[in-house]
Structure 1
Amino acid sequence: MNDTWLDKVSWAADGLVPAIAQDEGTGCVLMMAWMNREAFNLTVQTGEATYWSRSRKKLWHKGEESGNIQRVKEIRLDCDGDVVLLKVEQDGGIACHTGRASCFFSRLEQGKWVEIDPVLKAPNEIYQKKS
């Protein structure tokens, strides 16, 4: 596949672009992560979301540990070319490492952050320690 489409992305100085994952069916924003060229290219090639982990400094195939893979149904680029939108089917219904459907589970109410979405599965049940 010709990768000139990657040249249309306005990559930040660090070589990354923010990527928003949105549930294809409900429209709910699930999470935001970062992609470099390799992660973006792998996402397109495999049809499953791959991101760049800034903390681990490595590629991160969403669901590699939890099994909650994001199957990409559509990819969009914003008008400035500096944000990617992935419309996904979220395996397991859990996108957040806290065991919630979305990473955006806290709402600002009268100067305090209130957790408004339930934990669907405890993180220790999702992320089993490898022996």
Structure 2
Amino acid sequence: MAVFPERTTRAEVELGSTLQPKFGPDGLIPCITQDHATGEVLMFAFMNAESLGLTLSSGKATYWSRSRSKLWMKGEESGNVQLVREIRTDCDQDVVLIKVEQSGPANASCHNGYKSCFYRRLVDPADPTFKLETTTEPLFDPKTVYKK
């Protein structure tokens, strides 16, 4: 498992050349996942040191599931794996951005069957009913894939 270096000076964290991720008090760091080819945001999840290390060593996106309290390699159940093509961090290294190539039967990242987890938009921000509309069609049926 990867052991990340201790965070050093602000200047080294913000301008240096060593990855020094800042995990929160819960041991997690936010991770934004984008499609490498299109730049579309596919999902948002959390990583801990172990999942980030596994992502680096395997080349497959692995996250920490807060709801299940366990490691979760994307696609372990659905077959829709995320192959890591690039990893970035923000200026103070408290967020990770990974760019992936979707690989699998449906090429989807969302457990609800959509390519992206961001498949809905707010119709009218001024409307107090906060109506959402779905902007795309699902690529697979989660009931069939996950058998739940």
TM > 0.5 between the two?
yes
Map of 2:51 onto structure 1: 39
Q: Which runs of 5+ in 1 are unaligned?
A: none
Partners of 1:5 and 1:30 in 2: CA distance: 29
Measure the CA separation in 1 of the matches of 2:141 and 2:117.
14
The residue that corresponds to 2:39 in the other structure is 27
Render the CA deviation track for 1:7-56: whole Å, top value 9, x for unaligned: 51111110000111100001100000110000000000000011000010
Alpha-carbon contact 2:32-2:41 (below 8 Å) kept: yes
Aligned counterpart, 1:105: 119
Counterpart in 2 of 1:3? 3
User: Residue 9 of structure 1 aligns to a residue in which SS?
Assistant: coil
Tell which structure's C-alpha radius of gyration is larger.
2
The equivalent position to 2:92 in structure 1, one of 62, 80, 85, is: 80
Structure 1 match to 2:134: 115
Equivalent-residue separation in structure 2 for 1:91 and 1:125 (angstroms): 19
CA distance in 2, matches of 1:53, 1:101: 19
Match of 1:96 among 96, 110, 118: 110
In structure 1, distance between residues paired with 2:74 and 2:2: 25
Partner Cα distance (1:80, 1:15) in 2: 16
The alignment-based identity, stated in percent, is 53
Pair 6,102 (structure 1): closer, same or farther in 2 beyond 3 Å: farther
Structure 2: runs of 5+ lacking an equivalent: 8-19
- CA change 1:80–1:122 in 2 (3 A) is same
Q: TM-score, normalised by structure 2?
A: 0.81
TM-score, with length taken from structure 1? 0.92
Cα root mean square deviation, aligned: 1.7
Specify whether residues 3 and 107 from structure 1 end up closer, same or farther in structure 2 by C-alpha distance, changes over 3 A only: same
Q: Who is 2:29 aligned against?
A: 17
Which stretch of structure 1 is more off in the superposition, 37-46 or 112-121?
Answer: 112-121
Moved segments of 4+, more than 2 Å: 1-7
**Cα distance in structure 2, aligned partners of 1:6 and 1:125:** 44
Q: Which amino acid aligns with 1:104?
A: F
